[in-house]
Amino acid sequence: MPSTTTVKQLTLADVRDILDAEVLNGDDLNVMVIAVGAADLLSDVLATSKTGTLLLTGLLSTQVIRTAIVADLCGVVFVRGKKPGEDILSLARESKIPVLSTRFKMFEASGRIYSALAESTESK
Amino acid sequence: MMQEALESTYSVLGRDFANAGRVSTQIKDTLKRLGVHPTVVRRIAIVSYEAEMNLVMYATRGKVLLNVSSEDITLRIDDEGPGIQDINLAMQEGYSTATPEMREMGFGAGMGLPNIKKNADEFNISSEIGRGTRLVIRVRQAA
């Protein structure tokens, strides 16, 4: 995940607002996002992410959720309006992995989060 | 760090993509329950998951043996499968013999074995063509 960015203060609720995202799983979005990364290659996520990373991905597979469990990710955002199937969502519910879906493409979703972080840093 | 010693074996079926990764999440839960340090749990979970995906993608069937002692955690993954032709080549980042189906799941980019090695304190791989592959990984408990 070459584009991983360590963030100062951002919660999943902030990400939902920034990406105008639909929440598909997760009752409590008051979860700190430690870092953000965008990738479709799960081996890259496993190799480079850290605990508490939020993953933006265009990959629809149950392996995305298993990767989130294994690598202690704080949540998953499916980009480009992709809606995960019931197999993916039931695994997410079972393992308490927050799942969001945004209509923005990966590049734009990443840019929006990056800009929000830059603004929050500048205003300090 | 006081922990009970533990040894358990898990079976993994080749081509069973729907359940691929399940054993690794079980192993992770077990280690968490034992009170293993979260950093160590994460390293073992990543190693186990990459190895499990390799097994599911390439082998017919296999077993994962988990051994926990107060000093370290050992994973031994034995599979019945085609074996690896050239281990040095397979250890190179980016070298892969994966099918498009494997790549569609987000794997098969030639990162698995290097990732496993990166997360292990000790790493051992041996393979016999037409028989299978054995992987032994050790991670020391955090001091």
User: Cβ contact (<8 Å) for A47 and B107?
Assistant: no
Element (H, E) at A93: helix A86-94
Rounded distance between C-alpha atoms, residue A66 and residue B25, angstroms: 7
Interface predicted TM-score (ipTM): 0.93
**Which residues of A lie closer than 8 Å to B, measured between beta carbons?**
40-47, 51, 59, 61-64, 66-67, 69-72, 87, 95
At A122, is the pLDDT very low, low, confident or very high (cuts 50, 70, 90)?
A: low
Instruction: Tell which residue, B56, B95, B73, has the closest CA to residue B139.
Output: B73
The string of DSSP letters for B64-98 reads EEEEE-SSEEEEEEEEES---S-HHHHTSTT----
- Sorted by where each starts, the structural domains of chain A and their CATH numbers stand as 5-122 (3.40.1390.20)
Higher pLDDT, A22 or A118: A22
Q: Which pLDDT value is given to residue B89?
A: 95
Cβ contact, residue pair A40, B28, below 8 Å: no
Q: Where are the domains of chain B?
A: 6-140
Q: What percent of chain A has pLDDT over 70?
A: 90
Closest Cα partner for B121 from B44, B34, B8, B33?
B44
Residue A55 and residue B47: Cα distance in Å, rounded?
Answer: 20
Predicted local distance difference test score (pLDDT) of residue B102: 87
Q: How many CB atoms lie within 10 A of CB B137?
A: 23
- In sequence order, what are the beta bridge partners of B64? B10, B77
Mean pLDDT computed over B112-121: 95
Q: Nearest-CA distance from A39 to chain B in Å?
A: 9
Q: What is the mean pLDDT of residues A53-74?
A: 97
Confidence (pLDDT) at A119? 77
pLDDT digits (tens, 9 = 90+) for B85-100: 999 999 999 999 999 9
Rounded Cα–Cα distance for residues A59 and A40 (Å): 5
3-state secondary structure of A84: coil
Cα A91 to Cα A63: distance, rounded to the nearest angstrom? 10
Q: Do A47 and B25 touch (CB under 8 A)?
A: no
For residue A8, pLDDT beyond 70: no
pTM of the model: 0.92
Looking at beta carbons, which residues of chain A come within 8 Å of B114?
47
Whether B106 sits inside 8 A of A64 (CB atoms) is yes
**Chain A residue with Cα closest to B25:** A70
Sheet order of strands, B122-128 included: B6-13, B61-68, B72-80, B132-140, B122-128
pLDDT at B101 over 90: no
Which residues does chain A have within 8 Å of residue B104's beta carbon, measured at their own beta carbons?
61
Predicted pLDDT of residue A6 = 58
Percent above pLDDT 70 for chain B: 97
CB contact under 8 A, A70 and B25: yes
Tokens of B126: 């041996």
Four-way CATH pick for B6-140: 3.30.565.10, 3.40.1440.60, 3.40.1260.10, 3.40.50.9100 = 3.30.565.10
Interatomic CA distance for residues B6 and B26, integer angstroms: 14
Q: Which of B28, B42, B101 to mutate to test the interface with A (most CBs of A within 10 A)?
A: B42
The pLDDT tens digits for A18-62 are 999 999 999 999 999 999 999 999 999 999 999 999 999 999 999
**Beta carbons of B28 and A71 less than 8 angstroms apart:** no
